[in-house]
Chains A and B, each alone.
Chain A
Amino acid sequence: MPVSRDAARAALEEARPRAERGPASRRLTPRRLAPGGILLGPVVLVILWEAACRLGWLSPRVLAAPSTVLVTGFDLLASGALTYHFLASAKRAYLGLGVGVALGVVFALIAGLSRIGEATIDGTVQIKRAIPTLALIPFGILWLGIGDLMKVAIISLSVFIPVYVNTHAALQGIDLRYVELARTLGLTRLEFVRRVAIPGVMPGFFTGLRLAVTTCWTALIVLEQINTTEGIGYLINRARDYGQTDVIVVGLAIYGALGLGSDLIVRIWARRVLSYRRVLAS
């Protein structure tokens, strides 16, 4: 929508000088950070960490130096081991995420759009919500074994909850005025779902999805402590046995990067889908 985007940009540019005017002495809130300013803290921390290792204050048995971690990470990458374990972890996580999100959305729609669905699904899910999914791991192991099936199932289940709860809440919060409008325009039930209900729940869905992505990685980390022969969790566990703190840090960095990266993707996707709201914000 080039027209509205340009309009939004113009409005933004118009608003900016006004917001930045005013004498500094009378500011009640701190001035805005320069781009990248947020990185100051992490950079200082890494420098201190490196210095502590170089000066011998931190033994490699406690924590490897950042430079060592970088070299180890590069070696692991060059040998192909990192990619192999990374793909194994990513497969579990995203398979679980995909299944859980799909189920969450479908169940939320059924519960939100039909009385029988509300009666059967919503109460059940609310009870399930009270039990942390990770507490179901014993049953998961008894029923599905200790392989990837159990891991994907548990991840799906833990992802399902935030997606369901947020999507369902958004569906119940749909403005009744739009329902009235749909009736006066003679929309069919399917048209209503496609044109009003689904777009209307998208903000709630994305809230749920962002929580789900975080949940998915947390669940993965816990599950990869159980009998794994591949995956980042396996890499970390083996490194613990050999006291390789550098490999542990590489594993943690991968988890962190995956979490951040996934969140970034969801945010970009949400920005695209909810682009109509940016007009409102300007």
Chain B
Amino acid sequence: MTIVAPARQFESKPRTTAVRLRHLTRILSGRTILDDISLDIAAGEFVTLIGKSGSGKTTLLRAIAELDEDVEGRGSIEMPYNRSVLFQDSRLLPWDTVLRNVTLGLRTPDAQRRGIQTLADVGLSGRENAWPNALSGGEQQRVALARSLVREPALLLADEPFGALDALTRLRMHELLFKLVEVHRPTVLLVTHDVDEALKLADRVLVMESGQIILDQSVGLPHPRRRTDAGFAARREELLSALGVVEAV
């Protein structure tokens, strides 16, 4: 097996810290959702966060996205100002065309050109003037991806972005996201409940339970990764046991 030198190894570039969390605690109606989390994410690192539902992974992401102003909590967050969020639903404005959705809030003079270019990058050339509702679920999520990437974010926060897609579309989206992250090189924090997705994409996988990070695994496998690779299976096993899942063989 030829090992393709992974382009994204952190050793090859200066490891500045993009996200720094210290003693992050969030309490929702008396229940501690995030319990004193401290975490560093290096610039350009692709981190996936997995955990059972209710483990606090979405709360963590929303805290970093500053979408939790009404939530009680403590701790400090340092992160890049230029960040964008990819939601589970594509969250496109139905009354704006695809292109206007992509360039929403983009104030540079070449916004139009960049929007068209980014739409081409996600394979939606020629759909600039379509209404979002005329697109399939996968296409809508690709528009949302274009909207996130067109502003060249230093940090991309993704909350189960492929959770609502069918299995085949999801695989295509993995490839697309990976390819685009190679080009744009943002720091990525992606929340998922899919262990394969986490392992396929990430430099590092975090497992959450009861508001704490219980496993911090560096993947360090070459791309493209296949489920059948030996290293993949071993890491998968480790993650599943951390999640408390025993697979029947």
Q: Which residues of A contact B (CB under 8 A)?
A: 1-4, 7-8, 177-178, 180-187, 191, 195-196, 199-200, 202, 274-277, 279-280
Known contacts A180-B67, A184-B85, A195-B104; A1 and B131 CB within 8 A of each other: yes
Report B147 CB to chain A, min CB distance, Å.
8
B contact residues, total (Cβ < 8 Å): 26
User: Told that A7-B134, A184-B85, A280-B133 touch, could you supply 9 new A-B pairs with CB distance under 8 A?
Assistant: A177-B91, A180-B91, A183-B67, A185-B84, A187-B104, A195-B104, A202-B95, A276-B95, A276-B132
Q: Which residues of B contact A3 (CB under 8 A)?
A: 126-127, 129-130, 134
In the complex, B178 has a CB within 8 A of chain A: no
Establish whether residues B105 and A186, one from each chain, have CB atoms under 8 Å apart when the complex forms: yes
Smallest Cβ distance from A191 to chain B, in angstroms? 6
Assuming the A-B contacts A8-B134, A185-B105, A279-B134, are A199 and B96 also in contact, with contact meaning beta carbons closer than 8 angstroms in the complex?
Answer: yes
Nearest-neighbour CB distance to chain A for B15, whole angstroms, equals 27
- Give B residues with C-beta under 8 Å from A: 65-67, 83-85, 87, 89, 91, 93-97, 104-105, 126-127, 129-134, 147, 151
Shortest C-beta distance, B191 to chain A (Å), equals: 15
Interface contact A178-B91, CB-CB below 8 Å: yes
A7 and B183 CA atoms in complex are apart in Å by 33
Count how many pairs of residues, one from A and one from B, have CB atoms less than 8 Å apart in the complex: 68
Q: Secondary structure of the A side of the interface?
A: helix
Residue on B nearest A281 in the bound complex, by CB: B133
Whether the Cβ atoms of B105 and A191 lie closer than 8 Å is: yes
- Report Cα–Cα, A219/B87, bound state, in Å: 49
Whether B105 lies near A200 (C-beta < 8 A) is no
Report A149 CB to chain B, min CB distance, Å: 38
Q: In this complex, what residue of A is CB-closest to B104?
A: A185
Beta-carbon contact of A1 and B97 below 8 Å? yes
Contacts of B105 in A (CB 8 A): 182, 185-187, 191
Chain A residue at minimum C-beta to C-beta distance from B89: A177
Separation of A45 and B120 alpha carbons in the complex (Å)? 61
Report the Cα distance A132→B58, complex, angstroms: 50
User: How many whole Å from B36's CB to the nearest CB in chain A?
Assistant: 26
Who on chain B is nearest to A188 by CB?
B105
Provide the residues of chain B in CB contact with A1, threshold 8 Å. Answer: 97, 129-131
**Cβ 8 A contact of B133, one of A185, A191, A276:** A276
* Given known A-B contacts A180-B67, A185-B104, A187-B104, A4 and B89 have beta carbons under 8 A apart: no
Residues of A within 8 A of B97 (CB): 1
Q: How far is the CB of A28 from chain B (nearest CB, A)?
A: 30
CB distance from B230 to the nearest CB of A (A): 40
| Cβ B133 vs Cβ A199 within 8 A | no
A11 to chain B: closest residue by CB: B134
CB distance from A50 to the nearest CB of B (A): 49
Shortest CB–CB separation between residue A195 and chain B, in angstroms? 6
Q: B129: shortest Cβ distance to chain A, in Å?
A: 5
